[in-house]
Structure 1
Amino acid sequence: MRSSDSWQIPPEFQPDPRSLDYNLDIALSSIVSLRATIPADAFTAESLGTERLGQGVVIRDDGLVLTIGYLITEAEQVWLTAANGRAVAGHVLAYDYTSGFGLVQALAPLGVPAMLMGNSGKLKPGTKVVIGGAGGPTRSIAAQVVARQEFAGYWEYLLDDAIFTAPAHPHWGGAPLIGPHGDLLGIGSLQLQHQAPGGDILPLNMIVPIDPLKPILDDLLTIGRVAGPVRPWLGLYTSEDANDRVIVIGLAGDGPARRAGLKADDAIRAVAGNPIKSVAGFYRAMWALGEAGVDIPLTLDREGDVFDVKVTSADRARFLKAAPLH
């Protein structure tokens, strides 16, 4: 997200180095700010913008940076700035749509240490953590894990065990979740509004846990994506209404759903004849039918008119601009 150079976290929410079992300054020095430029004709330019700002964290001594993938998808230029002030160009290596992780290789030494990956599976609600920010303690926030649960994103994205933290970091995109031992346990993805008991609105950060990266990292580094079948993608945005209906709230460019004639406000009642009542259930039913290219039979309700339609799914990556070679 956009930010000025002068922002900082209020002092009362900043982490206290004296309360930690690791060197906070060393841990935070692994974080870099990230700026990506995207062509105006890119598939994601309208929805995500042509200039994207966020953060990343160095995870290998050779300058491999982990961030959240939406910051770098279709980027033609990426710049990384370390805490020591050094700014270097980066090359986009991969964006894994299933996990949401993105990888960038610094094209010159950053001169900062790598942060070790920890075990996010052991992270429980109530654990005190730090959501780090590029720029040191004044741009980092002392937080707490408030939940571990499923998260269904409107853009055909599903995490089985997302991490939710509070208070929310205002510049969450790509921000690392640092565990009690100073290790990397997740990457910031979103800020969400949660209605607490009593009606108060509590901003939360949704964090992608680090464990799913470990078995796919070699594939991402060698071929730029996870080896094996690709999930079918329809190019639609969905939400649930008060009646447990899955509603189309938008369409992604000239994707499969638009080509098949789907429209905003269509209610998706069934996939291959099986009723659905949640966005997560819709995704699982769709993905269970096969890999990208498979026909997805949908039953739609459009203003009371119920009908069936087949959508020929696609590989999402085929609609996106590839990273330029360096």
Structure 2
Amino acid sequence: MAAASRFPRLLFLAFCLTFLPLSVNDGTAAAARPADSVVTVAARVPADSRTADSLGTERRGGGVVIDQGGLVLTIGYLIMEAIEVTVADSGGGPVPAEIVAYDHDTGFGLLRALRPLRSTAARLGSADRLVAGQRAVAAAPGISGQTLVVGRRSFAGGWEYLLEEALFTTPPIPNFGGAGLFDAEGRLVGIGSLIVGDAAGDGVGPPGNMFVPIDLLPPILSDLLAFGKSTTPASPWIGLYPEPANGALVVARVSPGGPAAAAGIRPGDVILGIGDQPVRRMEALWRGVRALGPAGVEVPLKILSGGAVRDVTVKSRDRRGWLRLDRTY
């Protein structure tokens, strides 16, 4: 369906959903609801952490209990590099939790509550069954409500993040970080990551949220529980943050001590291509880098810097080695 004809229908449905009453989870309902599986996640991160400047030292969001032993699935940026994490269900105070795992490729994080929770473990579903126009329930700490599935498509983030099929919903919900997306049968199908200005991806809106599909969890869950990470070879990390501008990718910042900084790439440089292959979109950049091989591979970039074009070879590495995670696990 063309974007021009799809947008009015989505906007009308989003408008209707905006005025559906949201239900605050007060913990009094006898039957299990999606919100009964949702907990509050609070994390404290040292000021010298790599992500402290961009993500803060006090982080708060949501998570979803996925087993009876207090295993909580959340979005990884809430707990990345944290030294103290607590979870709280709707009717209780904060419970200490240990960080079980963090996975950059999916964006998932796992916690284990160290004392029993009164939350109900969510059943896992599949995002593959969702189609545009279906209603779902988005549940964040203390609040839940209906939302509309806009569709599934790839998503690229400036922090070297690429999902081949992310979930997009509208209208946007507050407290989206670590929120749960549930299908009509109450099964967990996604974990909230971002708020986006254009959920339909056609340049005209409406705004909404991006969720990481739950389907990405089962293939790596045993690794996450056993080792705190996936055993799949790590994707190459080059340590730069591009932003699209006028049809080009401009380096907004580089990671201190990262590969791009070591190679002499600076903010303001323009990424023209990978080798002789031009790239203008972030998805193409990250796909091209990953296609070269696992972490450690050399990445040949063509850079426009100071009015001159130059070839730069960046020696990639595993991002986990740059993050200060050792004190976490």
TM-score with structure 1 setting the length = 0.89
Counterpart check, 1:162 vs 2:166 = yes
Counterpart check, 1:28 vs 2:31 = no
- For the 8 Å contact 2:192–2:209, the answer to whether it is kept is yes
Counterpart check, 1:140 vs 2:147 = no
Question: Residues 160-202 of structure 1, C-alpha deviation per residue, up to 9 Å, x if partnerless?
Answer: 1111111100210000001110000000000011298999763
Question: What is the one-letter code of the residue matched to 2:167?
Answer: I
Question: What is the one-letter code of the residue matched to 1:104?
Answer: L
* Residue of structure 2 in register with 1:252 after alignment: 255
Counterpart selection for 2:307 from 304, 311, 324: 304
Supply the distance in 1 between the matched residues of 2:301 and 2:137 (Cα, whole angstroms).
43
Greater alpha carbon shift after TM alignment, 72-81 vs 272-281: 272-281
* Residue of structure 1 in register with 2:121 after alignment: 114
Q: CA 1:11–1:196 in 2, change beyond 3 Å: closer, same or farther?
A: closer
Supply the distance in 1 between the matched residues of 2:145 and 2:87 (Cα, whole angstroms).
21
Question: What is the one-letter code of the residue matched to 2:233?
Answer: P
* Residue of structure 1 in register with 2:282 after alignment: 279
Instruction: Give the superposed CA RMSD.
Output: 2.4
Counterpart selection for 2:54 from 43, 47, 60: 47
Q: CA 1:278–1:105 in 2, change beyond 3 Å: closer, same or farther?
A: same
Question: What is the one-letter code of the residue matched to 2:38?
Answer: I
* Residue of structure 2 in register with 1:319 after alignment: 322
Q: CA 1:254–1:196 in 2, change beyond 3 Å: closer, same or farther?
A: same
- For the 8 Å contact 2:18–2:171, the answer to whether it is kept is no
Supply the distance in 1 between the matched residues of 2:106 and 2:309 (Cα, whole angstroms).
34
Q: CA 1:253–1:199 in 2, change beyond 3 Å: closer, same or farther?
A: closer
Question: Residues 26-50 of structure 1, C-alpha deviation per residue, up to 9 Å, x if partnerless?
Answer: 3211100010000011111111100
Uncovered stretches (5+) of structure 1, i.e. residues with no partner: 1-9, 18-22
* Residue of structure 2 in register with 1:291 after alignment: 294
Supply the distance in 2 between the matched residues of 1:307 and 1:101 (Cα, whole angstroms).
37
- For the 8 Å contact 1:24–1:182, the answer to whether it is kept is no
Shift of 1:279: 0.8
Supply the distance in 2 between the matched residues of 1:316 and 1:73 (Cα, whole angstroms).
12
Uncovered stretches (5+) of structure 2, i.e. residues with no partner: 1-16, 25-29
TM-score with structure 2 setting the length = 0.88
Question: What is the one-letter code of the residue matched to 2:249?
Answer: V
Shift of 1:122: 1.1
- For the 8 Å contact 1:75–1:323, the answer to whether it is kept is no
Shift of 1:84: 2.1
Counterpart check, 1:269 vs 2:287 = no
* Residue of structure 1 in register with 2:175 after alignment: 171
Instruction: Give the share of equivalent positions with the same residue, in percent.
Output: 42
Counterpart check, 1:69 vs 2:72 = no
Counterpart check, 1:221 vs 2:225 = yes
Question: What is the one-letter code of the residue matched to 2:292?
Answer: L
Q: CA 1:214–1:198 in 2, change beyond 3 Å: closer, same or farther?
A: closer
